[in-house]
Amino acid sequence: MFTKAERLISIRNLRPKKKEGFLKIISIFSFLGIMLGVAILIIVMSVMNGFKTDLTKKILGLNPHIVIEPNSFEINDLYISKISDNFKNFTLSRSFSGEGIIITNENAKGVILKGVDKNEENTIEFFNRFVVGGNLKDFGAGKILIGSELAYNLNLKEGESINVMSSAFVSTPLGNLPKQENFKVAGIFNTGFLEFDQNLIFLNIEDVLAIFEKDKKDQNIEIYLQDPLKANFYKKKIQKIDQNFFIYTWSDLNKSLFSALKVERNVMFLILSLIVVVAAFNIISGLTILIKNKTKEIAILKTLGLSNNSIKKTFFLTGLSIGFFATVSGIVLGVLFSINVEKIRIFLSSVFNFEIFPSDIYFLEELPSEINLYSILVIFLISIFISMVASYLPAMRISKMSTFRALRYE
């Protein structure tokens, strides 16, 4: 593609003379601008990919993958057997959830009351992972499990009693009043996900049905898949079995969150790509000045028989070389930074005495990073393309240059 003579001339252009020191400065800024732009793009994309993956794992660990609600129809054994006959590699659980209020001596807090069967496999797995205080053997009738944040905010400990009020009403001589019962705290769980730890309470499923004035036919069916990412695929198949039930997946519950993350990621990519574009303008200005200063040399090369196309290719290769090596350096810098991003965060936090990415806001205990080879490839191709355009535009001026005029005025 490039002859030996074109490559030699291009290398010579990358090493300007001492009197052309300004060109050297422009080339350095072009290199640094593209390198930093590519590195920042990779770092930001890696952190956002890591954040999305970490958030997805937490949500999948805390939520059922598919939920089937009765929707005023009873979920009978025949329906469940049809699901079992059509699908494999999943487990079923029964549950019921509703809104309620817990009341202590000094405080009241709105929460989600979720009834579960402590003997089911998924419930046991969840408790083994996240319960940090109390004895699981004590979790039964009249006992509850609360989140660590909720326990801290309400100053609750294992063994203490609290009053739980549901949204169901009971008739009394004074009129209809919300149904309420006393429960003891059997244990405390900590998922690391603030929204769950301060808003969710687990009860025995018989207790939650009683406090909401519900029957067993009102229970929901929760499905846990081996591959949660196929939840929407299974949802469509389950809907075909019976249209009477209301079915939703973990992604339906968090659709707005993941849509916002996707939009934010795309916007950040576009904005940060402008850094590379701005840096590319240095290539345009540098090559334009270089071509202006090399007018005499270009005219001599034309006189010696070198074609316009070959000369254009030499200057094009000069700009492309700056863009290529800057892009490669940016990728190396970005990958190294992404791999050690948590160590760097800890270092900066200790130096400036300022907490970066607080866990109570960003739902993470450490700064995640996930290097995506596809994203790196896209960033590399975009950076090279911008460098090619920036190198091509000033090189096109050479075709308009007159050899006679150049030699005459030099």
* DSSP string computed for 296-351: HHHHHHHHTT--HHHHHHHHHHHHHHHHHHHHHHHHHHHHHHHHTHHHHHHHHHHH
Summarize pLDDT for 143-156 with one digit per residue, the tens.
888 888 888 888 88
User: At 246, phi and psi to the nearest 5?
Assistant: -95, 120
Residue 74 inside a domain? The answer is no
Name the band, by pLDDT with cuts 50, 70 and 90, for residue 305: low
pTM of the model: 0.70
Shared domain for 271 and 395, answered yes or no, is yes
Half-sphere exposure of 152 (CA within 13 A, CB side): 8
User: What is the predicted pLDDT for the residue at 126?
Assistant: 80
- What proportion of the chain, given as a percentage, has pLDDT over 90? 2
- What proportion of the chain, given as a percentage, has pLDDT over 70? 81
Per-residue pLDDT, averaged over 319-334, amounts to 88
CA–CA separation, 94 vs 216, rounded Å? 9
User: What is the predicted pLDDT for the residue at 9?
Assistant: 66
Which domain, by its residues, includes 100? Answer: 95-219
142, 208 contact by CB (below 8 A): no
pLDDT at 133 over 70: yes
Shared domain for 192 and 126, answered yes or no, is yes
2, 317 contact by CB (below 8 A): yes
Work out how many domains the chain is built from and give that number.
2
Shared domain for 387 and 261, answered yes or no, is yes
Structure tokens at 300: 């001599």
Structure tokens at 213: 């004035």
Summarize pLDDT for 90-115 with one digit per residue, the tens.
788 888 888 888 888 777 888 888 88
Name the band, by pLDDT with cuts 50, 70 and 90, for residue 50: confident
User: What is the predicted pLDDT for the residue at 405?
Assistant: 53
Residue 166 inside a domain? The answer is yes
Shared domain for 145 and 210, answered yes or no, is yes
Residue that terminates a domain, selected from 219, 245, 267: 219
Residue that terminates a domain, selected from 160, 191, 219: 219
CA–CA separation, 248 vs 220, rounded Å? 11
Name the band, by pLDDT with cuts 50, 70 and 90, for residue 409: very low
Summarize pLDDT for 274-294 with one digit per residue, the tens.
888 887 777 777 777 766 666
Other Cβ atoms within 10 Å of 353 Cβ, number: 6
Shared domain for 320 and 372, answered yes or no, is yes
User: What is the predicted pLDDT for the residue at 336?
Assistant: 92
Name the band, by pLDDT with cuts 50, 70 and 90, for residue 332: very high
335, 375 contact by CB (below 8 A): no
Shared domain for 348 and 404, answered yes or no, is yes
Torsion on CA atoms 301, 302, 306, 312, rounded to nearest 10: 90
Residue that terminates a domain, selected from 190, 219, 248: 219
Top pLDDT among 116 and 178 is at 116
Shared domain for 264 and 159, answered yes or no, is no
Residue 67 inside a domain? The answer is no
Shared domain for 261 and 405, answered yes or no, is yes
Q: What is the CA radius of gyration of the chain?
A: 33
Shared domain for 35 and 118, answered yes or no, is no
Residue 204 inside a domain? The answer is yes
Structure tokens at 316: 């094009």
Top pLDDT among 298 and 313 is at 313
Shared domain for 115 and 212, answered yes or no, is yes
Alpha-carbon distances of 77 from 65, 67, 142, 143, rounded to whole Å: 20, 16, 28, 29
Residue 248 inside a domain? The answer is no
Name the band, by pLDDT with cuts 50, 70 and 90, for residue 11: low
Residue 330 inside a domain? The answer is yes
pLDDT at 401 over 60: no
Shared domain for 261 and 187, answered yes or no, is no
Contacts of residue 157, Cβ cutoff 8 Å, sequence gap at least 6: 151, 185
Pairing of strands 66-69, 246-249: antiparallel
Shared domain for 131 and 210, answered yes or no, is yes
Residue 247 inside a domain? The answer is no
Phi-psi region of 71 (alpha: psi -120 to 50; beta: other; left: phi over 0): left
Cα 242 to chain center, whole Å? Answer: 35
Per-residue pLDDT, averaged over 193-197, amounts to 79
Residue 225 inside a domain? The answer is no
